[in-house]
Each structure stands twice: as structure tokens, then as C-alpha cells.
Amino acid sequence: KIESCGCKPMYLPPYSPELNPIEQFWAILKGKLKRHKLLTEEKLSDRIAKACNTIPTEILYNFASHSKRQIIQYYNKTTF
């Protein structure tokens, strides 16, 4: 068991996107992709790459920081 190694397991809610930064990223990316129709000659992979490149790195760090705060609150059993 993991406890025998001195680790304490942490059980998270089954659906908790606030604890997973990639969920926040996908939400923004999907919003960017939905704003404009795909041109016939344009590849979806190219559109995704362009949309990804418009998301500032600072936003990605913010996603991670937010999730970290949420995980700490959950770990300390405080409310979200």
C-alpha cells in the first residue's frame, strides 16, 4: 500500500476540472476555435496550432497556480 511508504493518498472528486489546469486550457482553446468557421482549405491541426499560439504563457501559469490553490484548499478540507 502507498501508506506503507509514508505517503498519504488524496482522493479527489470524480469531476473536478478546477483541479486540472488542462481543462482550463481546453475551455479557452475551444472558445477560440468556435469563433470562426474552418476554411475549406485550412486544416484543423493548423487552426489548433494558431489558436494555441495566441494563448499567452502567463495564462498557462495562472491556470497552474489556480489549480494548485484549489488542490491545497481541498487537501486542507476547506471549501472551494
Contact 38, 47 (CB under 8 A): yes
Total residue count of the chain as it appears in this document: 80
Is it the case that residue 45 has pLDDT exceeding 70?
A: yes
pTM: 0.69
For 77, the grid coordinates are 478540507
CA distance 12 to 67: 13
Is it the case that residue 38 has pLDDT exceeding 90?
A: no
At 78, the pLDDT band (50, 70, 90 cuts) reads low
Average pLDDT over the chain reads 86
Closest by CA to 52, choosing from 39, 34, 33, is 33
CA distance 56 to 43: 23
Mean pLDDT of 13-30: 89
At 63, the pLDDT band (50, 70, 90 cuts) reads very high
